[in-house]
């Protein structure tokens, strides 16, 4: 009873197939898809401004790819009160100067005993790419400045055993080991500590991307930690299943990276966040291999060291594989959207929905600016008919239904499940939406809004090239303080922008991206025009720091899913007691006494970063 | 906007109340309900056999209380093939000899500076009760033997600050600290390590049972860790909410104990297990107080030391309070039951239900023996009419519907939620049950089955008094191996019983108590008649050990929710790699360098317990 055929027969007969029901799927070579070296995402995809001022996202990947977007630049210019346009370009100087690597021939020699030549690289561009995780400051640095310290060597292990040997070799040669997944942490987690004097080996895990086994009867799979979301999704879909984890970075981020950052997926309402999905993992530590011979559903087995790994940000070791839950691909997937009078009303709508027992896989509410942002990303209308349609739509929304175009918000939703489940959820969803003044916006807009997440990620690189520095940040907050938090952050951004005498007006928009019984996740974009501004990155970071002060003062968290890394470690003393931070450092020392895994994130090796504030508490 | 009235108005208006919405409920003195010293549960409740052979559960608490149960003893006698009865009594000799306490006047003096006289006790019976956690062997020992080592002092702190001072005093005087919650761990977690030479202080947390604040808007409450389930349930119900956690021991076990044992509740499908419910906690460690100034929904904040505490079994510190999620009390609660042709078919039914998207709050399937056990717990029929009804029922079930009375199984179910949710779940539940040959058994039987959990817990003490040693154990197992596991355990129990030449026949029954996407939790009872048996406790423990070998060999876990304690620590080497166990010990040393919290559970201080087996792997 170990083959898929007889499993299917047993299930069709209404019995549970017995025995060891795991199988190893054939290894399907993933189509080579080159990622960009100097910016976000795939190499074939970037926003370019045309001489007529229209913007085109190159390539064919996204719902906004390869069409003229005539209103994006004008809209951004209007919002920033700044002359963004084709002529006004901030030309990148990629690649920057890259520091020469340290030399450690003895280590190389040792690694070459079990690795092929193509598994080691000291190519400057490769080392550069493996020394950042796509924070705005890092991307600005590689395009307009430099990174002061980069990894000395990048290795590409192909198996768990190679990782074991690699860590042993680094132990022997006292090299520092930095695990690398998708390189999309956006927290400076890959940025090397300034005082790191050792030879630094970045370990790119992405050749370890096999599905080691699938168990369709027990809904589990064992997957190598370097598999990216897009590969996992495709490999599992071939068998009618999914692990359901869809962070915004799902195309590029890896299973191991999700664990290390305690990631959250857009469809967590149905599938859970990463800590709910991962049942077990194998980790190479400086003490050896942390693993378990078998795994059962939910256990009470003492202090499970697995628990230390969620959010460990590379501090403890390298996850080489993990056992994850599987879910049947939903029989039904429906998109939807709802126009709402305001963000406040959108929050109230989500609040009521959250206790309805019918929360859809994903539901998000965009604020007014983000609604218009979405409109600005619409392609050139194909003639008069489309324009007329659009005018009629506007008329209905604003005049007939009484929405204020400067206040309305929009919810996008993805329903997934059995036909019955989805029917139940949809009925509940639209009933509650109506009570909050909601008007159906249709499935097409819903799908577009959901998928825009992926295309929109490329826009930061575009704005950089036109003198606008912009980035996202996020938090979670209890329901009762969500609007207060939104307003505080918004007002602080305006005040900071003014106090710093920055040009134009600041860009600010937010959306509510997750609901919990206890509150929501909020995701913000902030930016400003920076031509002529002295050290715009510093200005941006100080403003983000100020925004975070407001977030904490309004009861928000340091991060809902991005993590701490190094970008937010100065705030750790505001969210943990000194003893809690001390324990984290002590545990780090216990798990990794020689700081072999020297990424140095969330203050484990930098006590000064986590000393209590002089003034005590959060500045407001 | 900080009072309940205006919160209610805001919610009625469909808006989210703003600001800090926490309030402190008045402290309601819990009615004094004395717990039994020498056996399970409340003092007013125990099974007694009457001269006519009927059994009565004294008191008024349970659905089987205070009625004659005429068929229980005859049925047990039949199952065990042994003469259980009124005359054949194994009279307990409680209290046993209790070792005199060590003396540490300097510590007492220090404690008396901040504690009242009634907060310290060296009463032998109090010390005895605080040195066991209700495993069968422990109860047998206090009734028919002795405990070799008991705590030297029991303290009853009344506040977090007192716990801080207490731990500091014990640090200064080098005393060993053992946290005590409900004392119902059933894992020997409170049994003192044999090599513990220090003065031992058991810390009874149950006077710390206040609800510190409730936030009905954001669905959170902060509760002191010594609050028992019954107090929490009552205190929250007054405000229309629940934390939804209902382990079998909910009447006696405490919030802190649930965290320390990584507990699971019967209604976890709706409310989650303890790790899903607890958002944050305050812990007194030997390094100080681990705490956070505020908490938001789901966070990614580095290595959160909170994660170390789930399943820590007293090894790391004392949880003094925790922030938990709240859920509205369900608008609708329906019970139900279904007769099924067999346990195998019951499993297949649960399997299909598990992927339906409509899993009820609790669903359990009892095997054939447990079905008859339930029947044997029915009260004396009130005359001919009841007998006739019962005969007609039997006729319908066995003749008309074709159920084999020696094979049939029974599912009991609790639906909770909004009216819509429950309607959807019920429709789905009975539709799938029908496909598996299920026949509705009614709400009364369903409710009875669910509530029997609480009354039945007293039965172990009854069987002890009539020469039958019996106890429960549990596991979790993937779907495909669940029936294999059940059969292996059953057969092993029969083989062991035979090989040991124990009298009569062994008692064995199981039920499936939880469903997960990946498998189920199975809960077993095992027992045998032991009059004339040499060291029956050792025999029982060896049989349970043998059963656990079968469980592990069939892909089951060491424990689903009871934990490891000391009773199962010899198996740790079968479920963790040597490195994983080494890390757990290193982390223990980091968090508690002087082993202040010396309970010594799951092998953290006893390396020998976790050495790899000589023969390698699990004996089968």
Whole-angstrom distance, CA of residue B537 vs CA of residue B144: 11
Element (H, E) at A289: strand A288-290
What per-residue string of b and e applies to A69-100 under the rule 16 or more CB within 10 Å gives b? bbbbbebbbebbebebeeebebebeeebebbe
How much is the average pLDDT of A189-214? 96
Cβ-based contacts of B291 with chain A (< 8 Å): 576-577, 579-580
Cross-chain CB nearest to A559 (options B279, B301, B479): B301
Residue of A nearest to B261 (CA): A300
Note whether B348 contacts A521, CB cutoff 8 Å: no
Note whether B587 contacts A588, CB cutoff 8 Å: no
Q: Do B521 and B511 meet the contact criterion of CB atoms below 8 Å apart?
A: no
Cross-chain CB nearest to A303 (options B312, B420, B476): B312
pLDDT at A394: 76
User: Helices B419-435 & A419-435, crossing angle to 10 degrees?
Assistant: 170
Note whether A294 contacts B348, CB cutoff 8 Å: no
Mind telling me how many Å the CA of A492 is from chain B's nearest CA?
Answer: 18
pLDDT at residue A76 tops 90? yes
Q: Which CB contacts under 8 angstroms, 24+ apart, belong to A52-60? A: A52/A86, A53/A85, A53/A86, A54/A380, A55/A462, A57/A455, A57/A458
Note whether A418 contacts B273, CB cutoff 8 Å: no
Residue of B nearest to A307 (CA): B307
Residues 6+ apart with CB under 8 A from A535: none
pLDDT at residue B614 tops 60? no
Whole-angstrom distance, CA of residue B472 vs CA of residue B508: 10
Cβ-based contacts of A560 with chain B (< 8 Å): 296-300
pLDDT at B30: 67
Cβ-based contacts of A580 with chain B (< 8 Å): 290-292, 305
pLDDT at residue B368 tops 90? yes
* A94 among known catalytic residues: no
Q: What is the pLDDT confidence band of residue B616, given thresholds at 50, 70 and 90?
A: very low
Neighbouring CB atoms inside 10 A of A504's CB total 19
Mind telling me how many Å the CA of B477 is from chain A's nearest CA?
Answer: 5
Residues 6+ apart with CB under 8 A from B551: B475, B477, B485, B488, B489, B557
How much is the average pLDDT of A185-189? 97
Cross-chain CB nearest to A296 (options B14, B555, B588): B555
Note whether B303 contacts A584, CB cutoff 8 Å: yes
Element (H, E) at A319: strand A318-325
Between vectors from CA A478 to CA A472 and to CA A480, what angle results, nearest 5°?
115
**Beta-carbon-side half-sphere exposure of residue A495 (alpha carbons within 13 Å):** 10
**What is the per-residue pLDDT across A442-481, written as a single tens digit (0 to 9) for each?**
999 999 988 888 999 999 999 999 999 999 999 999 999 9
pLDDT at B383: 58
Mind telling me how many Å the CA of A195 is from chain B's nearest CA?
Answer: 21
**What is the per-residue pLDDT across B87-118, written as a single tens digit (0 to 9) for each?**
999 999 999 999 999 999 999 999 999 999 99
Whole-angstrom distance, CA of residue A489 vs CA of residue A508: 9
**What is the per-residue pLDDT across B524-567, written as a single tens digit (0 to 9) for each?**
999 999 999 999 999 999 999 999 999 999 999 999 999 999 99
Mind telling me how many Å the CA of A399 is from chain B's nearest CA?
Answer: 24
Question: What are the backbone dihedrals phi and psi of residue B278, each rounded to the nearest 5 degrees, phi first?
Answer: -85, 120
Highest mean pLDDT among A86-90, A377-381, A420-424: A86-90
Q: Do B613 and B574 meet the contact criterion of CB atoms below 8 Å apart?
A: yes
pLDDT at residue B152 tops 90? yes
pLDDT at A578: 96
pLDDT at B31: 66
**Residue B38, SS3 per DSSP:** coil
Strand pairing category for B120-121 and B153-155: antiparallel
What per-residue string of b and e applies to A175-193 under the rule 16 or more CB within 10 Å gives b? bbbbbbbbbbbbbbbbbbb
**What's the CA dihedral at A235, A237, A243, A244 to 10 degrees?**
130
Please report, rounded to a whole number, the percentage of residues in chain A having pLDDT higher than 90: 88
Neighbouring CB atoms inside 10 A of A532's CB total 9
Closest residue by Cα to residue A212 from A367, A405, A26, A484: A26
Cβ-based contacts of B584 with chain A (< 8 Å): 302-303, 305
Note whether A215 contacts B285, CB cutoff 8 Å: no
Question: What are the backbone dihedrals phi and psi of residue B35, each rounded to the nearest 5 degrees, phi first?
Answer: -90, 155
pLDDT at A64: 93
Note whether B421 contacts A358, CB cutoff 8 Å: yes
Lowest-confidence range among A559-568, B31-40, B514-523? B31-40
Judging by beta carbons within 10 Å of its beta carbon (0-12, 13-18, 19+), is residue B262 exposed, middle or buried?
buried
**Average pLDDT, rounded, for chain B:** 93
Closest residue by Cα to residue A264 from A273, A251, A255: A273
Cross-chain CB nearest to A575 (options B301, B347, B584): B301
Neighbouring CB atoms inside 10 A of B27's CB total 10
Mutation choice for B interface testing from A2, A8, A16, A515 by most B CBs within 10 A: A16
Whole-angstrom distance, CA of residue A267 vs CA of residue A244: 7
Record the pTM. Answer: 0.96
pLDDT at A29: 67
What is the C-alpha R_g of chain B?
A: 25
Closest residue by Cα to residue A202 from A151, A252, A144, A142: A151
pLDDT at residue A615 tops 50? no
Question: What are the backbone dihedrals phi and psi of residue A5, each rounded to the nearest 5 degrees, phi first?
Answer: -60, -50
User: Helices B343-354 & B419-435, crossing angle to 10 degrees?
Assistant: 140
Mutation choice for B interface testing from A13, A273, A296 by most B CBs within 10 A: A296
pLDDT at residue A30 tops 70? no
Between vectors from CA B218 to CA A417 and to CA B323, what angle results, nearest 5°?
100
Mind telling me how many Å the CA of B42 is from chain A's nearest CA?
Answer: 27
Whole-angstrom distance, CA of residue B390 vs CA of residue A538: 82
List, in sequence order, every residue forming a beta bridge with B411; answer none if it has no partner. Answer: B338, B365
Closest residue by Cα to residue B204 from B309, B121, B101: B121
pLDDT at B388: 63
pLDDT at A618: 39
The token pair that represents A65 in the structure block: 């790819």
Q: Do A261 and A561 meet the contact criterion of CB atoms below 8 Å apart?
A: yes
Whole-angstrom distance, CA of residue A474 vs CA of residue A364: 14
Cβ-based contacts of A294 with chain B (< 8 Å): 552, 555, 575
Element (H, E) at B56: strand B55-57
How much is the average pLDDT of B135-149? 96
Lowest-confidence range among A282-296, B416-430, B604-618? B604-618
Longest dimension (CA), chain B: 76
pLDDT at A616: 39
Our separate counts of H helices and E strands in chain B read 21, 21
């Amino acid at each position: 009873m170990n083959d898929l055929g007889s499993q299917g027969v047993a299930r069709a007969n209404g019995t549970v197939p017995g025995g060891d029901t795991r199988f190893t799927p054939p290894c399907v070579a993933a189509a080579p898809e080159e990622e960009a070296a100097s910016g976000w995402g795939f190499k074939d995809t970037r926003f370019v401004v045309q001489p007529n001022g229209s913007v085109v996202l190159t390539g064919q990947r996204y719902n906004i790819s390869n069409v003229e977007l005539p209103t994006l630049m004008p809209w951004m210019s209007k919002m920033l009160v700044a002359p963004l346009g084709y002529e006004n370009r901030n030309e990148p100087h990629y690649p920057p100067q890259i520091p020469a690597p340290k030399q450690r021939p003895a280590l190389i020699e040792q690694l070459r005993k079990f690795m092929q030549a193509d598994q080691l690289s000291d190519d400057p561009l490769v080392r550069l790419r493996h020394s950042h995780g796509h924070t705005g400051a890092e991307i600005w640095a590689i395009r307009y400045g430099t990174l002061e310290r980069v990894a000395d060597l990048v290795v590409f292990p192909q198996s768990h055993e190679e990782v074991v040997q690699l860590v042993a070799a680094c132990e022997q040669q006292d090299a520092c080991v930095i695990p690398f997944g998708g390189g999309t942490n956006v927290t400076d987690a890959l940025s090397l500590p300034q005082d790191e004097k050792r030879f630094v080996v970045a370990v790119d895990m992405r050749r370890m991307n096999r599905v080691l086994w699938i168990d369709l009867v027990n809904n589990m799979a064992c997957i190598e930690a370097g598999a990216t979301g897009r590969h996992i999704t495709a490999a599992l879909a071939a068998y009618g299943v999914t692990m359901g984890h869809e962070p915004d970075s799902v195309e590029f981020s890896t299973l191991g990276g999700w664990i290390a950052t305690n990631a959250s997926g857009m469809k967590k309402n149905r599938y859970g966040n990463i800590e709910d999905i991962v049942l077990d993992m194998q980790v190479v530590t400086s003490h050896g291999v942390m693993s378990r011979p078998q795994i059962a559903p939910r256990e009470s087995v003492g202090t499970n060291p697995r628990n230390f790994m969620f959010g460990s940000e590379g501090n403890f070791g390298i996850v080489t594989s993990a056992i994850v839950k599987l879910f049947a691909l939903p029989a039904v997937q429906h998109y939807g959207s709802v126009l709402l009078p305001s963000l406040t009303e959108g929050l109230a709508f989500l609040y009521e929905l959250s206790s309805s027992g019918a929360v859809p896989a994903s539901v998000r509410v965009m604020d007014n600016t983000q609604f218009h942002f979405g409109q600005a990303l619409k392609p050139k209308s194909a003639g008069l008919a489309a324009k007329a349609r659009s005018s009629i739509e506007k008329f209905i929304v604003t005049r007939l239904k009484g929405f204020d175009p400067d206040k309305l918000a929009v919810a996008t939703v993805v329903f997934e499940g059995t036909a019955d489940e989805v029917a139940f959820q949809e009925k509940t969803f639209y009933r509650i939406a109506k009570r909050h003044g909601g008007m159906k916006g249709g499935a097409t807009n819903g799908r577009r809004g959901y998928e825009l997440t992926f295309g929109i990620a490329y826009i930061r690189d575009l704005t950089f090239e036109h003198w606008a520095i912009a980035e996202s940040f996020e938090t979670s907050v209890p329901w009762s303080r969500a609007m207060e938090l939104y307003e505080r952050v918004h007002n602080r951004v305006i005040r900071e922008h003014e106090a710093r005498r920055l040009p134009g007006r600041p860009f600010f928009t937010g959306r509510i991206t997750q609901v919990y019984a206890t509150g929501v996740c909020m995701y913000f974009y902030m930016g400003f025009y920076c031509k002529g501004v002295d050290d715009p990155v510093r200005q941006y970071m100080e403003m983000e720091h100020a925004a975070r002060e407001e977030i904490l003062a309004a009861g928000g968290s340091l991060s809902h899913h991005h993590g701490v890394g190094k970008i937010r470690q100065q705030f750790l003393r505001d969210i943990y007691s000194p003893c809690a931070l001390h324990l984290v450092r002590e545990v780090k020392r216990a798990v990794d006494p020689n700081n072999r895994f020297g990424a140095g994130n969330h203050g484990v090796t930098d006590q000064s970063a986590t000393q209590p504030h002089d003034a005590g508490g959060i500045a407001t």
